[in-house]
């Protein structure tokens, strides 16, 4: 009934707790959803200019309001809200945002701050962008940076995340910033010092961004079938990505917690050993332990909180058996605490440090138990102490050995005093005798009972001894034996039990030898008796020549070897045993010898006392092996194993080849010094190499191919260098390009994450080689198609089935990054011609590959899900930069439809091209065309070649000199005619004669016609009216030529003027310089002034005024 009542009470408490959690979560979700709807619908709530003018904008009140914001608390919500509605803060938005960020908020004050920020966002349109810019300055964590104020960062992350959830900040940019900060917090935290910040974010914002529900409430909801409300602000894909990020961080925290747990156990065991041996612990070790324990406890508590928030189980923290303390035993050598600190595996007789600890670090039982418990075993001289020891051992088996021992001693002492002091009265003496008789009877009974119990306990101890198969258990057994079972009879039984170990349990021999070594300081006769028994049995087995019971012989040999390593048996005895076996080295003696050498041969060989003799025995062993003509191969292998275990061959370290100075120099100038400022210098240095030497050439090509060793921003310099070398050595460029393409292909086949950086560098290198015209565009497109087709399958079932062996797993987005890197480097040059069409087709195929990864890769629980969002941004940016009008597909099906449509168009064009084949009409047309061309050529050959007409001047013989008459000489193109103006008549003294002459000149032009009659040339004058078309055209041509000549003249004069001015300024400057430098007589070497070059002579170029008038330049 009580159990049922308790279970009912527990159920009620769970339901109450679950209902309370659901109510609180519903209130939080409702609060955020309401604010989000208000902030998204703010078109009518903005404050216009008319309203802002009515509000108070005085600096005094605004300053007071901003100061209140810097001390924001939940209690000030109403007053601040009221002040905000009365103030005009349009000019102080940045100050208000800074005040929110500088406020020392607590977790309880965040809700008030959200309400105020929401009101600011609804009132002022620019507040959101200004506030986000200020957040960018606050949330600026770096990968290697240290967080100065973790407490403030916890509040700031929650505040920033809630601002995004309620729609105050721009969602896209803010989510990118938040994701960057969370990624840095989780991936760059090697010591996991940010776990408290991550736990706080998961607690307050995990329900929105990662759909987190605490583990206990999740179990309660499943148990009672009650549904917990979920946040719908963000999509499930985004929540799953953030949740995977936190789970990955928790896995790393779990590994760190297990490591710290083991380290704490080691420190505790070490401190306990020091405390037990020295009785105190140094203050430095105490402080170190306290600091380590504090850090471990803090990490453990935060891990539990994070595990509950992520609904994960805490990692199992195993107990280290090697460092575990049991009953105060010691595992170190008190007398030589520094022994074994500098362990050398080459000179030490032990294989490793753990083996050395096993054979040398024995428990010091003598310092842990009272002296009275081993005093009798140490003396072993009289029988009285033996009986006393038996009584003591029987008494202490009751569980109170120490107290009963003290009481017995005190009782015996008081009894002696009473006997010695008795004689005062007869009655008292009689009572004492009766009491003594009663005590004797009780002692006899206790002795019989104690002997029976002792035998039973010893039997039980011997039966449990084979189960002690670890160092801790065997040490505990040695301590228990000393405390409870130490007696002469039990020591003999123990020796016999240790000797009679089963011949097949060879694994017990090291632990039994350690047991004997631990008891040796207290009970030396056990080791002595056991060694005697073993040596006698060894001699018996050697003398017996039968070939049976090989297990017993091997057991004796290995047992002797174990005791030798614990120094429980003299080393000389072991050497004598080996010598005895070598004397008759055959059959079972070979196996006995090999087993003995495998156990203690290394110990004897590395020991200074026995090294010479052991070395001699090993030489004899190898000679006997070589001398044996028909030895079984099994024996041969055993001998070689024993020999090389004892004396392993020298492990010669691989000598590193001395680096070639030339190779080191080439790597230095390529990998360290190469940049855009020194490409020419490096090119000159590389050209100085002996390219005719095949070794030097291969070395240089290898260095020039390894673009991953060059700084990423200097890869284009390496490509520039290769293009420069290819001008002098063509085969170098070909070999480098082949090696780069082969490396890219090899990366696709291997697909290991450790080569990702190298693969990115090589892809960028190939693109830079294209930019420097080392490869053709066909190679680039072939590489692009290889990246999205090699080992790629669009069958989802096949990818899931072959996830481990697939060349391109479904959750691997790295090829997309390679394609984007290649397009980002050289895609800008595919903007015209056939390469533009090729790139357009490729982008459609690339989009299908990306959409397949995006849609179906979400179902795989990948290690780094946030790579998917990073790749999405990279893909969108690259495509948008190359093709701004590219139509992105929203789903994989749409991408497949675009591919099908494009392939259909290409297929139709190919079919149409095939239909347009050559027919008979085309042949007839070609024949007619050829005949027409032939006829045209024949006709042109028959035509007379006309000489081009030239301009001819009026010959001197045809000129008639006339006084006061301006003659014009006109050059005619294509006509052999010369024009001459009609003379204006004689100079008259009256105006009437002048007017008459002017009118006559204007009515007609006089042309001189040159004729040829026979071999003589004749000239005739011909009058052409001014109004005729020929005269009008000739006049226009004359004016154009005149304007052109005037323009050329002006340009020539301007040039000469400028030259003259420059020379004059240079001369003046030289004179001033010489005057300043001369301190003596300035007139002695006086500069002689030379007039600058003057303007060209126009009369010499264009003739005199009369000549210009005659030639038609003036009228």
Q: What digits encode the pLDDT tens for the residues 52-106?
A: 777 877 888 888 888 888 888 888 888 888 888 888 888 888 888 888 888 888 8
Confidence at 860, pLDDT banded by 50, 70, 90: low
Residue 640: both structure tokens together: 């070689």
Smallest CA-to-CA distance from 329 within 527, 464, 478, 514 is with 478
Q: Which helix (H) or strand (E) holds 559?
A: helix 550-565
The per-residue pLDDT of the chain, averaged, comes to 77
What pLDDT does residue 703 have? 94
Residue 75: both structure tokens together: 């209690």
Smallest CA-to-CA distance from 109 within 77, 147, 63 is with 77
| 1034 Cβ neighbours under 8 A, 6+ residues apart | 970, 972, 979
CB-CB contact of 889 with 879 (8 Å): no
Give percent of the chain above pLDDT 70: 76
What pLDDT does residue 241 have? 85
What pLDDT does residue 774 have? 92
Residue 852: both structure tokens together: 């397949």
What pLDDT does residue 1059 have? 85
Confidence at 281, pLDDT banded by 50, 70, 90: low
Confidence at 161, pLDDT banded by 50, 70, 90: confident
| In the predicted structure, residue 1101 carries a pLDDT above the cut 90 | no
What pLDDT does residue 1070 have? 75
What pLDDT does residue 889 have? 92
SS3 label, residue 751: coil
> Which residue has better confidence, 1035 or 775?
775
Residues, the chain: 1115
Confidence at 182, pLDDT banded by 50, 70, 90: confident
| In the predicted structure, residue 718 carries a pLDDT above the cut 90 | yes
> Which residue has better confidence, 969 or 955?
955
What pLDDT does residue 671 have? 93
Confidence at 824, pLDDT banded by 50, 70, 90: very high
Winning range, highest mean pLDDT, from 338-352, 389-403, 843-857, 1034-1048: 843-857
SS3 label, residue 1023: strand
CA distance 1054 to 360: 108
CA distance 993 to 985: 8
CA distance 702 to 694: 12
Handedness of CA 139, 144, 147, 153 (dihedral sign): positive
What pLDDT does residue 652 have? 64
| In the predicted structure, residue 1091 carries a pLDDT above the cut 70 | no
> Which residue has better confidence, 875 or 219?
875
Tens digits of residue pLDDT in 183-225: 888 888 777 788 888 888 888 888 888 888 888 888 888 888 8
| In the predicted structure, residue 711 carries a pLDDT above the cut 90 | yes
Domains of the chain in sequence order: 4-246 (1.25.40.180), 256-309 (no CATH), 360-397+452-646 (1.25.40.180), 659-775 (1.25.40.180), 788-916 (1.25.40.180), 946-984+997-1074+1088-1115 (no CATH)
What pLDDT does residue 618 have? 87
> Which residue has better confidence, 492 or 967?
492
**Which residues, in sequence order, are bridge partners of residue 208?**
none
Confidence at 738, pLDDT banded by 50, 70, 90: very high
| In the predicted structure, residue 485 carries a pLDDT above the cut 60 | yes
Q: Considering the entire predicted model, what is its pTM?
A: 0.36
| In the predicted structure, residue 689 carries a pLDDT above the cut 90 | yes
What pLDDT does residue 945 have? 58
């Amino acid at each position: 009934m009580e159990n049922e009542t308790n279970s009912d009470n527990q159920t009620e408490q769970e339901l109450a707790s679950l209902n309370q959690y659901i109510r609180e979560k519903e209130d939080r979700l409702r609060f955020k959803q309401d604010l989000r709807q208000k902030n998204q619908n703010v078109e009518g709530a903005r404050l216009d200019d008319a309203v802002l003018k009515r509000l108070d904008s005085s600096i005094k009140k605004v300053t007071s309001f901003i100061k209140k914001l810097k001390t924001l608390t939940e209690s000030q919500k109403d007053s601040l809200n009221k002040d905000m509605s009365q103030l005009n803060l349009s000019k102080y938005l940045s100050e208000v945002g800074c005040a929110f960020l500088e406020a020392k908020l607590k977790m309880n004050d965040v809700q008030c701050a959200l309400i105020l920020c929401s009101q600011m966002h609804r009132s002022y349109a620019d507040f959101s962008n200004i506030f986000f810019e200020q957040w960018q300055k606050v949330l600026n964590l770096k990968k290697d940076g240290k967080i100065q104020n973790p407490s403030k960062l916890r509040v700031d992350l929650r505040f920033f995340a809630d601002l995004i959830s309620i729609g105050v900040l721009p969602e896209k940019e803010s989510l990118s910033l938040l994701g960057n900060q969370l990624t840095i917090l989780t991936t760059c935290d090697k010591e996991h010092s940010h776990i408290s910040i991550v736990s706080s974010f998961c607690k307050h914002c995990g329900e929105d961004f990662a759909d987190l529900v605490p583990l206990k409430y999740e179990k309660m909801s499943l148990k009672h079938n009650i549904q917990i409300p979920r946040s719908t602000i963000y999509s499930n894909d985004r929540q799953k990505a953030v949740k995977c990020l936190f789970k990955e961080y928790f896995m790393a925290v779990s590994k760190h917690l297990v490591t710290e747990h083991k380290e704490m156990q080691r420190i505790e065991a070490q401190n306990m050993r020091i405390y037990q041996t020295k009785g105190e612990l140094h203050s430095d070790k105490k402080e170190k332990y306290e600091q380590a324990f504090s850090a471990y406890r803090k990490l453990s508590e935060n891990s539990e909180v994070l595990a509950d928030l992520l609904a994960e189980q805490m990692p199992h923290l195993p107990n280290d058996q090697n460092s575990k303390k049991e009953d105060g035993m010691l595992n170190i050598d008190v007398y030589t605490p520094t022994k074994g600190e500098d362990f050398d595996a080459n000179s030490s007789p032990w294989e490793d440090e753990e083996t050395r600890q096993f054979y040398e670090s024995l428990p010091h039982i003598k310092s842990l138990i009272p002296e009275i418990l081993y005093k009798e075993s140490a003396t072993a001289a009289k029988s009285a102490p033996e009986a006393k020891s038996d009584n003591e051992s029987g008494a202490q088996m009751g569980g109170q050995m120490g107290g009963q021992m003290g009481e017995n001693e005190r009782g015996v002492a008081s009894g002696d005093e009473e006997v010695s002091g008795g004689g005062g009265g007869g009655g008292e003496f009689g009572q004492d005798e009766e009491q003594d008789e009663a005590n004797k009877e009780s002692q006899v009974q206790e002795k019989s009972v104690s002997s029976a119990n002792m035998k039973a306990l010893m039997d039980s101890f011997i039966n449990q001894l084979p189960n002690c198969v670890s160092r801790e258990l065997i040490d505990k057994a040695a301590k228990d034996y000393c405390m409870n079972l130490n007696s002469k009879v039990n020591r003999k039984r123990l020796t016999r039990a240790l000797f009679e170990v089963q011949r097949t349990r060879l694994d017990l021999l090291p632990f039994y030898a350690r047991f004997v070594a631990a008891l040796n300081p207290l009970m030396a006769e056990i080791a002595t008796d056991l060694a005697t028994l073993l040596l006698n049995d060894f001699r018996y087995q050697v003398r017996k020549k039968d070939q049976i019971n090989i297990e017993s012989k091997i057991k004796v040999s290995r047992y002797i070897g174990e005791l030798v390593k614990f120094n429980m048996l003299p080393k000389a005895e072991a050497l004598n045993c080996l010598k005895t076996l070598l004397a008759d080295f055959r059959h079972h003696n070979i196996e006995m010898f090999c087993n003995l050498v495998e156990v203690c041969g290394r110990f004897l060989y590395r020991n200074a006392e026995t090294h010479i003799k052991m070395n001699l025995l090993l030489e004899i062993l190898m000679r006997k092996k070589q001398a044996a003509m028909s030895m079984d191969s099994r024996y041969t292998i055993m001998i070689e194993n024993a020999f090389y275990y004892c004396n392993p061959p020298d492990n010669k370290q691989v000598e590193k080849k001395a680096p070639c100075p030339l190779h080191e120099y080439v790597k230095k100038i390529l990998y360290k010094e190469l940049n855009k400022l020194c490409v020419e210098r490096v090119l000159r240095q590389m050209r100085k190499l002996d390219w005719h030497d095949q070794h030097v050439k291969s070395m240089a090509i290898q260095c020039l191919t390894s673009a991953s060793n060059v700084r990423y921003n200097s890869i284009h310099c390496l490509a520039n260098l290769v293009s420069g070398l290819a001008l002098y050595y063509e085969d170098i460029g070909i070999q480098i390009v082949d090696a780069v393409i082969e490396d890219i292909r090899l990366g696709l086949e291997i697909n290991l994450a450790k080569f990702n950086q190298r693969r990115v560098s090589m892809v960028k290198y190939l693109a830079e080689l294209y930019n420097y015209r080392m490869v053709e565009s066909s190679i680039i497109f072939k590489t692009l198609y290889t990246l999205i087709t090699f080992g790629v399958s669009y069958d989802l079932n096949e990818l899931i089935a072959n996830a481990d062996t697939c060349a391109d797993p479904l959750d691997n987005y790295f090829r997309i990054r390679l394609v984007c890197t290649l397009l980002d480097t050289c895609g800008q040059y595919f903007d015209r011609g056939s390469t533009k069409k090729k790139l357009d087709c490729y982008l459609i195929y690339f989009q299908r590959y990306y959409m397949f990864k995006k849609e179906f890769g979400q179902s795989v629980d990948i290690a780094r899900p946030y790579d998917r969002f990073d790749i999405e941004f990279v893909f969108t940016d690259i495509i948008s930069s190359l093709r701004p009008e590219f139509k992105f597909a929203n789903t994989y099906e749409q991408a497949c439809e675009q591919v099908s449509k494009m392939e259909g168009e290409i297929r139709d064009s190919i079919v149409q091209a095939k239909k347009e084949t050559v027919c008979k009409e085309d042949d007839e047309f070609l024949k007619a065309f050829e005949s027409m061309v032939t006829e045209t050529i024949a006709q042109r050959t028959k035509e007379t070649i006309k000489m081009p007409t030239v301009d001819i001047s009026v010959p001197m013989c045809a000129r008639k000199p006339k006084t006061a008459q301006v003659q014009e000489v006109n050059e005619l193109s294509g006509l052999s005619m010369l024009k001459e103006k009609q003379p204006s008549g004689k100079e008259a003294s009256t105006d009437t004669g002048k007017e008459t002459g002017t009118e006559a000149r204007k009515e007609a032009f006089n042309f001189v016609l040159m004729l040829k009659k026979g071999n003589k040339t004749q000239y005739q004058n011909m009058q052409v009216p001014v109004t005729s078309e020929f005269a009008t055209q000739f006049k226009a041509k004359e004016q154009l030529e005149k304007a052109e000549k005037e323009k050329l003249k002006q340009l020539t004069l301007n040039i000469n003027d400028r030259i003259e001015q420059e020379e004059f300024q240079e001369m003046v400057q030289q004179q001033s310089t010489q005057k300043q430098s001369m301190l003596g007589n300035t007139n002695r070497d006086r500069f002689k002034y030379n007039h600058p070059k003057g303007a060209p002579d126009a009369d010499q170029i264009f003739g005199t005024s009369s000549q210009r008038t005659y030639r038609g330049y003036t009228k």
